[in-house]
Chain A
Amino acid sequence: MKELLINKLKEKFQDFIEEIIDYSNELTFVISKNKILDVCYFLKNNEDLKFDYLVDICGVDRFKKENRFEVVYNIWSEKLKYRIRLRVKVDEKDLQLDSVTSIWKSADWYERETYDMFGIVFLNHPDLRRIYMPEEFEYFPLRKDFPLIGIPDSLPLPRRN
C-alpha cells in the first residue's frame, strides 16, 4: 500500500514533494506551498486512490526563524481504508495559503479555526471569520508567544453593579 502511494505521487509531483516521513506506521508527505491544491485534487479524484474524507486540518507553530508555521492535513480513503498526512510549510512574512473548500466541503470550519488560532489566511474561503474568540479579539491565541493566562483587558467583562 505504501509503495503504491509513494510511486503514484512521485510520478506526478516529483519536484514538489520535499520530504517523505514514515514514522510509527504512518505516512507523511511534506508538500510545497503552491501545489497543495493540485495534490489534493489528484488524491481525491484518482480512481485508484479516492481520498474522499477530510479528517482534520490544523496548524502547528514550530517557532523557528524561517517557515515558522505549518498546516497539517489528515485525510482518509474510504476505498483503500488507509490514512495519510500532508504538511505544508508557511512562512511568517507570507501567511497565505489556498483554501481546499472547493475539494472537500468540511474544510470550511477547520480553516476558520486555524485562522482564529494562528492567523493564517486562506484565499478563496467562502466566509473567513473568527470562530471561537469574539470578533473584536486582536491576538492569535495558539501562537507560542501568547501567554496561557491571556493578556489582561483584552476581552471585555460586564460591570458588577
Chain B
Amino acid sequence: MKENSLSNNQDIRNKIIQKLLEQDVQIVSEDPLENTMVLNMGPSHPSTHGVLRVILKLDGETVVDAMCDVGYLHRGFEKIAENSTYHEFIPHTDRLDYLSPLSNNVAIALAIEKVAGITAPPRAQYIRTILCELARISSHLMAIGSIGIDLGALTYWFYTFTEREKLYDIFDLVVGARFTTSFTRIGGISHDITEEGIQAIKVFIKELPSILKKCEKLLNRNRIFIDRTQGIGKISLEDALNWGLSGPNLRASGSERDLRKDEPYLIYPELDFDVPYYNEGDTLARFLIRIDEIYESLRIVEQALKKLPEGEIISNDPKNALPRKEKIYTKMEELINDFMLVNFGINPPVGEIYQAIESSKGELGFYIVSDGSGYPWRLKIRSPSFCNLQVLPLLLKGQMISDVVAIIGSIDPVMGECDK
C-alpha cells in the first residue's frame, strides 16, 4: 500500500512538472529605477519643528504623495484636565504652544471666566493684552527665524534669537519666569506690573523696528530666497476655508478673518490697528505676513501702554477669585475662601461654553462642559497647529524634496499644541 501511494505521488509530481514546463515561462524582475520610493522623514529630524513624522512617496525628486504621522508628543492634557481643578490646570496650558506661553494663559483664563460668569477689572485686561501681543511678537520672530535657518540662512536666525532673548528678559522682570509663565489667574492676573517693567517694554518697542529693517534687508529681496519660496505650496482661499486653516496661513490666502476684529475680546474694540492680508497664498506670502503682523503688534502695545488705567488687578468675587496673600494671613473670611478655592475649586453653573482667541498660530479655542463642581467634566482644546497640519499632504503634492522643508516651516506647526 505504501509503495503504491509513493509511486502515485511521484507520478503526480512528474505530471505537474511536465505541465509547467510546457507553459510559457517568463521571468519578471522589478527595475528599482522605475518604481516610486518611500522615504521616512522621521520624528527626529533637524527641520521638522519638533517631533513630526512625514512619510513621502517619491518619484525621483518629486513628491507623489505624503502622509503625516502625529502623536509622538501626546501627553494627555484633556484627561489631566478632568482630574484637576480649574486653577490647577493653568500651568499645564503654558506647555501647549510653548513659543508664546502667555497667550495660552490668557485664553484659558478667559474661558474659565466665561464658565464662571465673572469678568476681570480693566487694568488686568490691559496688562493681559500687552503681554499677549508681546508673546505674539516672540512667536513670530521664532517662526521667521526658522524659515531662514531651514533654507540655509543662519544669520537670520541669530538676529531674531537675540531679540527673543531681550523679550525673555522683559518677561523675567514683569512676570517672574523666562519661559513658562503661568501669569493669569481666574478673575485677573497674579501680580502687578512695576514702573521698571513698563520702562523696559518701552525701550524694547522703540528699538525693534530698526533691527527688523536690518533683517528685512537680508532676505526680503534676495534672489535665492525669492526663487525658493515664490509659488511654492500655493493654496486657494476656498480650499483654505474648507480645510480649516486659520491665523496667518489663512490671511496669506486672501481672507480677512481675525478674531480680534470679528469677535472682540479683552480691550481690542478700543484700540486702532489693521489686519494685513495677502492674496497669493504661497510660502513667500506666509513669510511676509508674519513680519507685517509684528509691526501691527508693536502699534497695539504702544497704544495700550499710553491708555493703561489705575485700579485693582484681580476681581473681588470671593467664590471664584483667589484673595490676596496679605489678607489670607490676617483675616478670617479670606482664609476660609482660600481654603475652599484651593481644595474644592470654583463654583460655576452647569452648562457648556466655547471661547476662542487669536493666537499667533491661529484660532486657539477651549470648549468646556461644566457639571457644577470645581472639576471640569470635559475640556477640549481646539489647537490651531493640529488643524493647520491637515493641509500638508495637499500642499506637498508635486513639489520637490527641498521644498518640503520650506513648506513645513511656513505653516509653522508647534507639536506641543498639535499633539495636546
User: Per a CB cutoff under 8 Å, which of A61, A105, A141, A148 touches B242?
Assistant: A105
* A85-B354, A109-B386, A132-B70 known; A141 vs B244 contact (CB < 8 Å): no
Assembly CA distance A2 to B80 (angstroms): 35
Cβ of B390 under 8 Å from chain A: yes
Assembly CA distance A29 to B351 (angstroms): 14
Cβ of A131 under 8 Å from chain B: yes
Among listed B11-19, B225-233, B321-329, B362-370, interface-contacting one: B362-370
CB proximity of B32 to chain A, nearest CB, Å: 28
- Using a Cβ cutoff of 8 Å, how many contacts connect chains A and B? 80
Cβ of B318 under 8 Å from chain A: no
* Residues on the B chain within 8 Å of A56, using CB: 365, 367, 380, 382
* Residues on the A chain within 8 Å of B352, using CB: 23, 28, 85
User: Per a CB cutoff under 8 Å, which of A58, A134, A146 touches B380?
Assistant: A58
Check B390 against A109 for contact (C-beta < 8 Å).
yes
CB proximity of A154 to chain B, nearest CB, Å: 13
CB proximity of A141 to chain B, nearest CB, Å: 6
Cβ of A81 under 8 Å from chain B: yes
B248-265 interface bits toward A, Cβ cutoff 8 Å, 1 = contact, 0 = none: 000000010100001100
Check B71 against A106 for contact (C-beta < 8 Å).
no
Assembly CA distance A131 to B262 (angstroms): 32
User: Per a CB cutoff under 8 Å, which of B79, B244, B351, B365 touches A148?
Assistant: B79
Check B351 against A23 for contact (C-beta < 8 Å).
yes
* Residues on the A chain within 8 Å of B255, using CB: 78
* Residues on the A chain within 8 Å of B80, using CB: 148
* Residues on the B chain within 8 Å of A55, using CB: 244, 356, 363, 365, 382
* Interface size bracket, B side: 35 or more
* Interface size bracket, A side: 20 to 34
Q: Which of A107-161 contact B (CB under 8 A)?
A: 108-109, 117, 130-134, 141-142, 146, 148
Check B354 against A74 for contact (C-beta < 8 Å).
yes
Assembly CA distance A56 to B255 (angstroms): 19
* Residues on the B chain within 8 Å of A106, using CB: 242-244, 387, 390
Cβ of A37 under 8 Å from chain B: no
* Residues on the A chain within 8 Å of B71, using CB: 130-134
CB proximity of B370 to chain A, nearest CB, Å: 11
* Residues on the A chain within 8 Å of B79, using CB: 141-142, 146, 148
* A60-B369, A132-B70 known; A52 vs B378 contact (CB < 8 Å): no
For residue A103, which residue of chain B has the nearest CB?
Answer: B242
For residue A113, which residue of chain B has the nearest CB?
Answer: B386
For residue A83, which residue of chain B has the nearest CB?
Answer: B354
Q: Which of B124-145 contact A (CB under 8 A)?
A: none
Assembly CA distance A67 to B352 (angstroms): 18
Cβ of B216 under 8 Å from chain A: no
* Residues on the B chain within 8 Å of A52, using CB: 241-242
Check B74 against A133 for contact (C-beta < 8 Å).
yes
Say what secondary structure dominates the interface of chain B: mixed
User: Per a CB cutoff under 8 Å, which of A72, A132, A146 touches B419?
Assistant: A132
* Residues on the A chain within 8 Å of B390, using CB: 106, 108-109
Assembly CA distance A72 to B354 (angstroms): 11
Check B367 against A72 for contact (C-beta < 8 Å).
yes
CB proximity of A19 to chain B, nearest CB, Å: 13
Check B262 against A81 for contact (C-beta < 8 Å).
yes
* Residues on the B chain within 8 Å of A42, using CB: none
* Residues on the B chain within 8 Å of A141, using CB: 76, 79
Check A131 against B70 for contact (C-beta < 8 Å).
yes
For residue B354, which residue of chain A has the nearest CB?
Answer: A74
Check A78 against B241 for contact (C-beta < 8 Å).
yes
Cβ of B271 under 8 Å from chain A: no
Check B365 against A24 for contact (C-beta < 8 Å).
no
* Residues on the A chain within 8 Å of B242, using CB: 52, 104-106
Q: Which of B199-232 contact A (CB under 8 A)?
A: none
For residue B387, which residue of chain A has the nearest CB?
Answer: A106
A residues contacting B by CB (< 8 A) are 23-24, 26, 28, 52-56, 58, 60-61, 72, 74, 78, 81, 83, 85, 104-106, 108-109, 117, 130-134, 141-142, 146, 148
* 17 contacts across the A-B interface (CB closer than 8 A): A26-B354, A52-B241, A53-B244, A81-B262, A83-B354, A104-B242, A105-B242, A105-B243, A108-B390, A130-B71, A131-B70, A132-B420, A141-B76, A141-B79, A142-B78, A146-B79, A148-B79
